[in-house]
Amino acid sequence: MELTFNLPGLETIEQRTVPLDSSTLYDVLIVGGGPAALTAAVYCMRKGVKTGLITLDVGGQVAETSTVENYMGYRHIEGISLVQRFKEQVEQFEIGFLQGYKAKKVIDGNIKKVECEDGNIYQAKSIIITTGKRWRRLNVPGESELTGKGVAYCAICDAPLFKDKDVIVVGGGNSAIEAAIDLAKLATSVTVVQLLPALTADKVLIDELSKFTNVTILYEHEIKAIHGTSAVEAVTVHDIKNKKDNTLSVQGIFIEIGLVPNTELVKNVVSLNEYGEIIIDCSCRTSRPGIFAAGDVTSVPYKQIIIAAGEGAKAALSACDYVLTNK
């Protein structure tokens, strides 16, 4: 079977993964395809347990990141290339693999079950949920086409790429203002576009932002469209109060209006926090025995690639221990 990417610029490479089998009882079933999932897969297979993986796509948010400069071993690497390295690491194992279908529901019990969009139900002694988060999007023209080409969702990841450029930050909460502060130190100009008549971030952040002379705040404005061919060139902004459109020439736009955890499949199975994230302990255990979680979908702070990968390793080791002690 071939493990493929629905991403431009990556070739399909033959490897040792095998089709996920609905008649097989797996020791560990991993749901997700980002750094936490792929790391967990490697650790489980090295432990010698029968492992399966279900994912809609491979790479998660990393595949949408233009350049990664904070993953150890690489001074800088394209997000899609880093995903390729993860992929190659998994390819050496005969892991049961299903790509292109979304896991719809987790059913708890002595034997865990995952109902999938392909119409099958897959079974395992334990499950690791690594479904991550999805960026809350604007859903305006040009956003999808230019993601990774000037449209960004993570200032921590991508701010250094916009040194001496003109950028927009969308949002008025803590994440948006933190992004604006980080960008103001590097960019030529930063325009904050806020839908509401005031910022909602903490006062300490608003005060810090006010120290920068290269920052402009547009209150009661919204993004109408993002323009560009191979990269962002301009953004159309709508003045809600005056009902006027204005096109700003910029090279980047950071959409900082929050993230949505992909926890719909376990919403009534495990405990979630106020943000909808899966609550885990230091061993990646959820509120239900045999169900583990790792990466951005969990309550662990600081959503970073290297943290997700480490949490994936922990979850795998915990799941393997669970399987071995509950035969």
What's the whole-number mean pLDDT along residues 147-165?
Answer: 91
> What pLDDT is recorded for position 307?
97
Percentage of the chain beyond pLDDT 90 is 82
What's the rounded Cα separation, in Å, for the pair 319 and 225? Answer: 45
What's the whole-number mean pLDDT along residues 192-215?
Answer: 96
Domains of the chain: 2-134+259-325 (3.50.50.60), 137-255 (3.50.50.60)
Of residues 13, 15, 12, the one with CA closest to residue 97? 15
Q: Cβ–Cβ contacts within 10 Å for residue 85, how many?
A: 13
Give residue 3's pLDDT band: very low, low, confident or very high (50, 70, 90).
Answer: low
Percentage of the chain beyond pLDDT 70 is 95
pLDDT tens across 280-297, in order?
Answer: 999 999 999 999 999 999
H-type alpha helices, the chain: 35-47, 79-90, 155-158, 174-184, 203-209, 305-325
Give residue 6's pLDDT band: very low, low, confident or very high (50, 70, 90).
Answer: very low
Of residues 231, 228, 235, 274, the one with CA closest to residue 255? 235
List the end-to-end C-alpha distance of the chain, in Å, as a whole number.
30
Region at 272 (left for phi over 0; alpha for psi -120 to 50; beta for the rest): beta
What's the whole-number mean pLDDT along residues 144-148?
Answer: 94
Region at 187 (left for phi over 0; alpha for psi -120 to 50; beta for the rest): beta
Q: Which structure tokens are listed for 245?
A: 């459109």
> What pLDDT is recorded for position 287?
98
Question: Quick check: 164 pLDDT over 80?
Answer: yes
Give residue 7's pLDDT band: very low, low, confident or very high (50, 70, 90).
Answer: very low
> What pLDDT is recorded for position 66?
66
Give residue 191's pLDDT band: very low, low, confident or very high (50, 70, 90).
Answer: very high
Cβ-proximal residues to 83 (8 Å cutoff; 6+ apart), any chain: 5, 7, 10, 58, 59, 62, 63
What's the rounded Cα separation, in Å, for the pair 29 and 21? Answer: 11
Q: Which amino acid is at 129?
A: I
Q: Give the DSSP letter of residue 276.
A: S
Give residue 5's pLDDT band: very low, low, confident or very high (50, 70, 90).
Answer: very low
Q: Which structure tokens are listed for 321?
A: 């221990």
Q: Which structure tokens are listed for 148?
A: 């990774």
> What pLDDT is recorded for position 9?
43
> What pLDDT is recorded for position 8?
44
> What pLDDT is recorded for position 142?
97
Give residue 249's pLDDT band: very low, low, confident or very high (50, 70, 90).
Answer: very high
What's the rounded Cα separation, in Å, for the pair 296 and 294? Answer: 7
Q: Cβ–Cβ contacts within 10 Å for residue 208, how many?
A: 16
> Whole-number mean pLDDT of the chain?
93
Give residue 14's pLDDT band: very low, low, confident or very high (50, 70, 90).
Answer: low
| Contact of 53 with 20, CB cutoff 8 Å | yes
| Contact of 146 with 153, CB cutoff 8 Å | no
What's the rounded Cα separation, in Å, for the pair 315 and 95? Answer: 17
Q: Decide: helix, strand or coil at residue 125.
A: strand
Cβ-proximal residues to 46 (8 Å cutoff; 6+ apart), any chain: none
Question: Quick check: 81 pLDDT over 50?
Answer: yes
What's the whole-number mean pLDDT along residues 55-67?
Answer: 83
Q: Cβ–Cβ contacts within 10 Å for residue 35, how many?
A: 30
Which carries the bigger pLDDT value, residue 189 or residue 135? 189
Residue 124 pairs with which residues in a beta bridge?
26, 112
What's the whole-number mean pLDDT along residues 183-202?
Answer: 97
pLDDT tens across 16-48, in order?
Answer: 889 999 999 999 999 999 999 999 999 999 999
Backbone angles phi, psi at 147, to 5 degrees: -65, 130
> What pLDDT is recorded for position 11?
47
What's the whole-number mean pLDDT along residues 299-311?
Answer: 94
